[in-house]
Chain A
């Protein structure tokens, strides 16, 4: 009995994000507060959560849901970055901000920070000023998990690379919600975790591509039935970046240009039937929505991503590899593995 415990412990220390585990027990207060969730993931996972540091940049409806979930779960600290002012649009799907905060002078990060503290006083929630794109490696070293939203594809790739360069293993995620569609991207680099089966627990290993690597894979190399949202989002990303627009700064009047871009991108990827791969109807929906998010979809994305973050911190449970798409129009949620197949 004891020997097995020892072995499991060692394996466990090696898996996940190798969070600093001193032998401190949870306080009585923590055990009482987190009782119901400890029954799901165990005391050890709860301890790891309480020592984890999470960075979330870009406060939208989806990331607001995510913040709520991980603050309730009891992470050690949550750092928010979003210097944008509170606008009326932002209030539509972000329940952490109120109409009275509109044009109140404080940033989105500041206002959300305050609301989140109420959810769980045991979590250190703070707002960080400054531009993440300019931040150096040292800054990122402080975190175990980084989640990026509401910024350009270029910025996401850049920050992803910064995270991958750290010697400390970090979990990187992006999330976007447009109209009633959502996309989650997961990068855990090379990741070991514990997988429970009916009888025992085994150690598993996965290799995640970077964001750049994943979206560089030629479209013809991807499985036939990959979610159309993947391609639609790539076209949108390309459009916004070429026009130097902020993410979601689109409208239906952009449709003719986007359709042209779609044709160009498909040709470059040797895809003949471009409306089948990237339906016009889908592009129309996404364009028209701009930055508008459908709140129920935010809840769905925030729930799924929240659990992914918790799994990565605890090292327990199979991670989502590596894209997730949801579209309320067909009510489907799918996991897409968009990575180069292993050589050999």
Chain B
């Protein structure tokens, strides 16, 4: 989309193409002839809603997405947050106070956990952490979920809560004799140790000794609580649930964090881990596959082996030479047309092909949308130019002459003027280029001011998109 906006601005042709396995597509974007790339959007990729991934998975992809997300949170994001805090505690605290929301609160809780309750100093600590994580993920959370929403729950509309595609989960009972349970703990402990810079003892690789160490961990009893909020709204994009005293809690957390930091050895830092799927010896895929499969077990979803898990979690784009070659050939043909010049819209071709079926579909590009106003018409490719160092007021007047009542003027992503804000009245008599320099912080090239996009209404008070306005101020 950025490239599209630059091509729009500089009026350059854009030859877009892509492949996905045996599928390929080409799209021609020619200034003044076709619609721009951003004019039509692909249907958004179907991403599982957050609540599905977090509480109501029904296939292994959901479990793997969750596993990948937990891996990154526990082993990369939180340790990075911790280091940010430790590098400059007061700046960090200020940023959190400034944000003051539920997400900041959750973040602080995670950082505090790492440095206080869950801080690891020995390998046994890491084993404890991993064992308790198992209990939390695959037993306690499930118990809490099914306590809040029992098997016979009904929704507000009277239908059963746990109807398809939701799957009713059951908690796992940890057993060190189960190799899949034990492997989860092993991978978790090792990665936790890596993150804290704790060396891995040799006996860890001995299953009997390791199992014995795991069994030593004291696992507290769990009682599900009343009134726990669990997000069920498919459209929710965040899991943080706001509460009225977030600000107070944030203060409290900051104080406890600062206390903690004092007790740490000087120069203490964590070692964030970046997911590396191709190293078979680093336990990354073992942990992710373990997380995903145990979760799948909770929800009675068929489990997958490490290789399959790698394929899915690795998010790698499948690629083959044949569709690539075809797409390249098709784009070259269009490039020759552009270089030759003089070709009409109808001469260009957009293509979609799927070599696996096989299917070939060619079409002419679509012309840009034309906007009409009074006796003028324009498309997204057109520009209005004004020569002279004009003020914002003069710019508004110029637009008024065209029968356009502009209510906002922006430069790039910065707002220069909006009729709603009383403060902006002061700007009206300033030179447009100066306001742009001040607010948008742009350094203007010698003669052309960056295009202004105006938000305007026409004679009938309908919102109308107007072309970019270029001001030649020198």
Contact = CB atoms under 8 A, between A and B. Distances in A.
Given A296-B329, A296-B333, A300-B329, A307 B22 contact: yes
Contacts of A328: 333
A310 B353 CA distance: 17
B360 interface: yes
A198 B132 CA distance: 41
Contact of B318 (A37, A180, A335): A37
A76 interface: no
B333 A297 contact: yes
A299 B329 contact: yes
Helix, strand, loop or mixed for chain B's interface? mixed
Interface residues on B, range: 20 to 34
Given A304-B326, A307-B22, A40 B321 contact: no
Contact of B319 (A40, A65, A295, A317): A40
A317 B356 contact: yes
Interface string B339-376: 00000000011010101111010100000000000000
A65 B325 contact: yes
Contact of B329 (A39, A297, A307, A311): A297
Contacts of B322: 69, 73, 302-304, 306-307, 310
Nearest to A305: B322
Helix, strand, loop or mixed for chain A's interface? helix
A299 B326 contact: yes
B242 interface: no
A145 to B, nearest CB: 14
A302 to B, nearest CB: 6
Interface string A319-344: 11000000010011111000000000
A3 B4 CA distance: 52
Interface in B19-61: 21-22
Interface centre among A36, A69, A300 (most CB of B within 10 A): A300
Contacts of B329: 295-300, 303
B180 interface: no
B22 A40 contact: yes
Contacts of A73: 320-322
Interface in A264-318: 295-300, 302-304, 306-308, 310-311, 317-318
Interface in A63-86: 65, 68-69, 72-73
Interface in B294-321: 311, 316-321
A77 B355 CA distance: 23
Nearest to A301: B329
A69 B356 contact: no
Given A40-B319, A333-B353, A334-B360, A303 B325 contact: yes
Q: Which 10 A-B pairs have the closest CB atoms?
A: A299-B329, A303-B326, A331-B349, A39-B318, A296-B332, A303-B325, A307-B355, A300-B329, A296-B329, A333-B360
22 contacts: A36-B320, A37-B319, A37-B321, A40-B21, A69-B321, A296-B329, A296-B333, A296-B336, A297-B333, A298-B329, A299-B329, A303-B325, A303-B329, A304-B322, A306-B322, A306-B325, A307-B22, A318-B356, A331-B349, A332-B362, A333-B360, A333-B362
